[in-house]
Chains A and B, each alone.
Chain A
Amino acid sequence: QSVLTQPPSASGTPGQRVTISCSGSSSSIGANHVNWYQQLPGTAPKLLIYGDDQRPSGVPDRFSGSKSGSSASLAISGLQSEDEADYYCAAWDDSLNGAVFGGGTQLTVL
């Protein structure tokens, strides 16, 4: 069971906007920045969003992140077929003195 809670699956049609939630605690998301990773099938994870809402260079602005209290969200607008992947949230947890990941959300583009 993961320390951060994500829905196991999400879906949308091309062009739609989807959001993926990530729920944590006061010692994890409530105290530290949230980062999001995209993992395409058979590949290593890729940093998608850092510092709650910042995009690394090269990441399309269709991807956005937000945080409120002990929860965070990843939004993908203008959904494309190539967005079909697993998405993970992550944060440092001060109580555990370690990083924690969400269980991952498998995004399907219908």
Chain B
Amino acid sequence: EVQLLESGGDLVQPGGSLRLSCVASGFTFAAYAMAWVRQPPGKGLEWVSAIDAPNDLTYYADSVKGRFTISRDNSENTLSLQMSSLKAEDTAVYYCAKTTTLSGRSSRSDCWGQGTLVTVSS
């Protein structure tokens, strides 16, 4: 069974940093691009970032570019999101999502984690 388990969500002050992790199981992690998608409380989905499978090429939404860094460790089946200079508008549930291709240039995710809540507030 394909599973994604996120962790790392927390309450953090504006300007602070946080690192999210997503451990994958049930599929060949190294063979698929992965993505992070977030959902502010009571609002819609927003794509955040993606990373290719073969070459670690990365993609970012303009709203997080320069502040967030996506990475993957294929030996540990782990996807990470390093977030810095956090703002109140980054408050959201962050989902880890598996795509169906090698390339991160995709909006098709066939498996999602349960999400981890990041709250940015003083």
List the interface of chain A (C-beta within 8 A of B).
2, 32-35, 37, 39, 44-47, 50-51, 56, 86, 88, 90-92, 96-104
Number of B residues with CB within 8 Å of any CB on chain A? 23
- Chain A's closest residue to B46 (CB) is A101
Please determine whether A56 and B113 come into contact, CB atoms closer than 8 angstroms: no
- Chain B's closest residue to A46 (CB) is B112
A98 with B60: in contact, given A47-B109, A92-B107 (CB under 8 Å)? Answer: yes
- Chain B's closest residue to A35 (CB) is B108
- Chain A's closest residue to B103 (CB) is A92
Please determine whether B106 and A45 come into contact, CB atoms closer than 8 angstroms: no
A/B interface sample: 28 pairs, CB < 8 A: A2-B44, A32-B107, A33-B107, A34-B107, A35-B109, A44-B95, A44-B113, A44-B115, A45-B37, A45-B45, A45-B109, A45-B112, A46-B112, A47-B108, A47-B109, A50-B110, A51-B108, A88-B44, A90-B47, A90-B107, A91-B107, A92-B105, A92-B107, A98-B62, A99-B35, A99-B106, A101-B107, A103-B44
Determine if B92 is an interface residue (Cβ-Cβ < 8 Å). Answer: no
